[in-house]
Structure 1
């Protein structure tokens, strides 16, 4: 063993006696930004340590690294050579220094690399490059929150290998939102006498503030076929790897014009308002709910930018709405935003009503002027029920003079003037009010005493009755209450349906107290409309026959949406937020 170590030491002694000379060289200089350059370090002799390439990472991306050793002996003199090859991608243009690289105690010499913005033009192609990346914008000077269409194109003549990527544009300076429109398109384009293959993407950019907005460079990284290589390459990995960049795109964003007077800033190509009544507005039935669908369609705005539609229903009309439906559709000039709201409208009584119109102010980006989109008022004609009760048109407190003549006045007897004079002398409004207050107090106390006595008797009777009932009949379960409610709805019995619904609220939903007023706070608009129709029949506000199919269908939808038959009050409130 000692003999082998001695032989190895003697064999390596000539190498240790040589000082390692390290030379650095580039395969080409200058180079285009995005193209690789190969940096080679060659050491004649044994270096004193491993190389440290970290200083190169400041100005270069290191994408490949290899090391090889060669040994030779000439006339009894042995030598060893070590080679390191690095594939570098410059990160900036101009003169980029390559600092000395330390190999232990040894180091290489420094170099300078010239990096150009684009590859040098080829004389044979008239100065037109084989690959171009470009960004364009329309319009060039948009308003804040106006939609800008950004077009990214990659033009190439050299065939590309599948291993390629093209980055998306990103906001580098300023503030804005950007998203791609549709899919990537492939087409052709003639430029500078050359027929290019084009890869095109379109984006919608929405600036969030005025001022300068800049999109940074977009990068193509791929492999093109190498004309100088004759080797068969089934995987397309032996081509020439290149990188190309687009120029940054800078836009000047204008602020909201001072002449705009709308409530909300809406810059768009066009905005329209649409309305659709499920039943014609002049053929509505009292107590029956009808769906009104309202929609805002904006060419050049996202659905999230569109305002909420506030409807002020006329007196005597009830209107409920649910969560709006937002949709963004791709259009020829960018995104077309659609906001759709569904309203449930119920008219309890017969009559004619004026349903109000709507209007939206917006800024026409094509003409540079403010415009208003309107929806005309609609006349509602309601039949099939009762007329509006007189109480609904009763005079307010501001009209007491009209009620005074209806009060009976005492008739004077001409035969007894002294008695009449004495009576009126004793009478005064203060005494009259005091007497009424005393009578009201006595009646209230008597009614409270009677109420508590009646309640105690009822409790005793119920306890005795419950004790005498079989165990299975003492308490109505949720299933039985639900079956009774279904039977009452199918047989169109309003009073039975009302009673069964209260029973189901108590044993099925565990509402305490089981009142329709509590349930109304948690019911969706469709179910609210059916409950109003049921109350209209029970309390004489509708003379038409009641149909329980609508209530039963609404209750089934409500029960399915909760996911279970027993729902707590807090859980129901979260299903239908305001």
Structure 2
């Protein structure tokens, strides 16, 4: 057995001692950037080790690799040949050098490949001519946008030859400057006549928002696919045609800074911006103590919802307001993005009266006309009834609470004080003196009674204010409950109402902090006591309010477990109803 292996070793000894000769070549030269080519290495003889193709990665992308071996013997002389074939794509243009590749102690010779920026024009029929009729391009509108203004970027792949469906086209990316980019809608197929030739077009659109002025550079986008040759329909895998890769040219945009003459608080370049308001109940028919929902929305054509600012809503004195996190919604189409920022408020007025919500204004820049404009919501007057009048000092003077229409300011005629006084005097001065004396006596009596009532009410309000100032610190559940107990034991309905509202917010963490939210979870006993408190506050009770029953119901109250809010699946209306 030992002699047999010695004979085999002697037989193959000439192959081992023979130095390998390695040659390298391309299947074609020059080649267009993006077109594949075959780089072939041939070793005549046995190489010392497997080749290391890592140096090629600098200027080439290796997409495929194969190896074949052959053995022959002629006139007693044996030979071995090994061939490595690499499918590569050049990464750069110009004269690209292929460095020597190591095969153990052996090396291949260097090569130089000429890489063209575009395929060479060829009038002959064949795949070469077809390949030259495929290209990718980028365009943008507007050409000189402002910072944060929406730019519509269009990417097109134009081709005359049919393509295999197995293909890829990369998205544009920002290589210089700062910005955000996102695709609008889906990829669409169309046709385009250019230079007298009818191209098939694969088109995508993107919304680009630059974040700083200066140059913004979009890098190359890459198409990679295969041509559908005449016999490709019989190919079960659909890859029979030659592979093609094409690149778009880098695209640079000049981004302008915000115009110097713009005076708005927020920089908002858009095609259009509008403000919308929707009340759950008519603003001029509200009930004291009942919550009313207000939905405010900014609708901007050409801006994303995240770019829109918060609306500064001025709440009138005497009105309690609660708001939740804003909702953002973006509607996109081929023309761009329409952003919607929606804010929901709950307003509660505890006393009768008129409360003026001032107008809302939002300055913005019209990117179509190049001018500053203002979106506006007119002032609104909340007319509240069904309860009791506000205590003295709770509301500002009437001169600070003007009655304003829902659509426009009320027209108030200008009347001089003297003329107004003259109009109120009777035209006949021979009125019976007895009637005048009776009216004067009645006026004195009513004035005295009113002054006495004011004194009693002010004394009671002072006692309540002291109680509130000492037992209702802001965010302490225990002290909030203690304040409620004190108000109930002292039989003070207004103090108990305020303490109950504070406990709902601090102790129960209900949002918004409304008594109606507590009533939903309350037992029948607690519901009855809440109704009794409301009757005492709004003048519907038959006697003095006693707080012992409310405190007993509170001490036996068991809060329901907080349920996590389910995510909404639908979208709110884009333009809220007026």
Regarding TM over 0.5, the answer is yes
Distance of 1:230 and 1:253 partners within structure 2: 47
Residue 192 of structure 1: which of 195, 202, 215 is its match? 195
Match of 1:358 in 2: 360
Cα pair 2:318 2:395 within 8 Å, conserved: no
Offset, 1:351: 2.3
1:523 aligns with 2:525: no
Distance of 1:214 and 1:535 partners within structure 2: 67
Q: For 1:108-187, what aligned pairs fall within 5 Å after superposition?
A: 108-123=108-123, 129-187=132-190
Deviations 1:244-267 (A, max 9, x none): 111111111111122111111111
Offset, 1:35: 1.0
Distance of 1:323 and 1:277 partners within structure 2: 18
Deviations 1:126-163 (A, max 9, x none): 99932121111111111111111111111223222232
Q: How many residues align?
A: 441
Cα pair 1:144 1:256 within 8 Å, conserved: yes
Q: What is the TM-score normalised by the length of structure 1? A: 0.70
Cα pair 2:283 2:381 within 8 Å, conserved: yes
Radius of gyration: which is bigger? 1
Distance of 1:230 and 1:523 partners within structure 2: 68
Structure 2 SS opposite 1:6: helix
Cα pair 2:185 2:333 within 8 Å, conserved: no
Match of 1:269 in 2: 271
Alpha-carbon spacing, 1:183–1:96, altered in 2? closer, same or farther (3 Å): same
Match of 2:303 in 1: 301
Offset, 1:327: 0.5
Match of 1:63 in 2: 63
Match of 2:381 in 1: 379
Match of 1:484 in 2: none
Deviations 1:283-339 (A, max 9, x none): 222222111111100111111111111211222322221111110111453111101
Distance of 1:23 and 1:128 partners within structure 2: 29
Distance of 1:129 and 1:61 partners within structure 2: 21
Offset, 1:15: 2.5
Distance of 2:156 and 2:133 partners within structure 1: 14
Match of 2:51 in 1: 51
Match of 2:316 in 1: 314
Structure 2 SS opposite 1:9: helix
Match of 2:2 in 1: 2
Alpha-carbon spacing, 1:393–1:77, altered in 2? closer, same or farther (3 Å): closer
Offset, 1:104: 2.1
Cα pair 1:173 1:214 within 8 Å, conserved: yes
Distance of 2:376 and 2:540 partners within structure 1: 37
Offset, 1:226: 4.0
Cα pair 1:121 1:127 within 8 Å, conserved: no
- The alignment's C-alpha RMSD in Å is 3.3
Distance of 1:157 and 1:351 partners within structure 2: 75
Alpha-carbon spacing, 1:26–1:292, altered in 2? closer, same or farther (3 Å): same
Distance of 2:374 and 2:302 partners within structure 1: 16
Alpha-carbon spacing, 1:364–1:386, altered in 2? closer, same or farther (3 Å): same
Cα pair 1:384 1:544 within 8 Å, conserved: no
Cα pair 1:36 1:241 within 8 Å, conserved: yes
Structure 1 SS opposite 2:314: coil
Offset, 1:538: 3.6
Alpha-carbon spacing, 1:82–1:18, altered in 2? closer, same or farther (3 Å): same
Distance of 2:76 and 2:214 partners within structure 1: 76
Distance of 1:208 and 1:394 partners within structure 2: 45
Offset, 1:242: 1.8
Structure 2 SS opposite 1:123: coil
Structure 2 SS opposite 1:392: coil
Alpha-carbon spacing, 1:178–1:528, altered in 2? closer, same or farther (3 Å): farther
Alpha-carbon spacing, 1:100–1:254, altered in 2? closer, same or farther (3 Å): same
Q: Is there any run of 5+ residues in structure 1 with no aligned partner, and where?
A: 396-404, 407-494, 500-513, 546-555, 565-578
Deviations 1:176-214 (A, max 9, x none): 111111111122222222222222111111111111111
Distance of 1:230 and 1:348 partners within structure 2: 79
Distance of 1:393 and 1:224 partners within structure 2: 79
Alpha-carbon spacing, 1:214–1:90, altered in 2? closer, same or farther (3 Å): same
Offset, 1:358: 0.1
Distance of 1:230 and 1:131 partners within structure 2: 18
Q: For 1:221-240, what aligned pairs fall within 5 Å after superposition?
A: 221-227=224-230, 232-240=234-242
Structure 2 SS opposite 1:281: coil
Distance of 1:349 and 1:323 partners within structure 2: 28
Alpha-carbon spacing, 1:301–1:273, altered in 2? closer, same or farther (3 Å): same
Q: For 1:173-572, what aligned pairs fall within 5 Å after superposition?
A: 173-227=176-230, 232-390=234-392, 392=394, 516-521=501-506, 522-525=509-512, 527=514, 538=534, 540-543=536-539, 559=560, 561-562=562-563
Alpha-carbon spacing, 1:356–1:516, altered in 2? closer, same or farther (3 Å): closer
Alpha-carbon spacing, 1:224–1:560, altered in 2? closer, same or farther (3 Å): farther
Match of 1:419 in 2: none
Structure 1 SS opposite 2:310: coil
Cα pair 1:348 1:536 within 8 Å, conserved: no
1:93 aligns with 2:93: yes
Cα pair 1:289 1:530 within 8 Å, conserved: no
Structure 2 SS opposite 1:57: helix
Alpha-carbon spacing, 1:38–1:530, altered in 2? closer, same or farther (3 Å): closer
Structure 2 SS opposite 1:118: coil
Q: What is the TM-score normalised by the length of structure 2? A: 0.70
Cα pair 1:287 1:536 within 8 Å, conserved: no
Cα pair 1:348 1:541 within 8 Å, conserved: no
Structure 2 SS opposite 1:282: coil
Offset, 1:20: 2.3
